[in-house]
Amino acid sequence: MAGAGHNSGEVGGIAADQLRTIVARIERLNEEKDELAADIREVFAEAKGNGFDAKVIREIIKMRKQDEPKRTEFEAMVDLYKMAMGMD
């Protein structure tokens, strides 16, 4: 039976090499995600420097992710609620 100090094989029924590979891949992806997040922050800073509102850009990006029918339905509901509140 393999002991806890072994670097490969199964330890307690777990394939240690496979687990290390998975953990390393996740760590690498997290590093890439952090780098991408930093890049996105830079683009937002550039947009702000050019006079654009980052909050509005985020909302536009969020809207573009939605499919057209759902977005149209949502916007119609927002307009209806605004009218009911006397905001239009």
- Mean pLDDT for all residues in the chain: 91
- Same domain for 58 and 48: no
- Same domain for 68 and 27: no
Phi, psi of 61 (to 5 degrees): -60, -45
Q: What is the 3-state secondary structure (H, E, C) of the chain?
A: CCCCCCCCCEECCEEHHHHHHHHHHHHHHHHHHHHHHHHHHHHHHHHHHCCCCHHHHHHHHHHHHCCHHHHHHHHHHHHHHHHHCCCC
Segment 56-78, tens digit of pLDDT? 999 999 999 999 999 999 999 99
The boundaries of the domain holding residue 32 are 1-52
pLDDT at 2 over 50: no
Are 26 and 34 in contact by the 8 Å Cβ rule? The answer is no
- Same domain for 19 and 43: yes
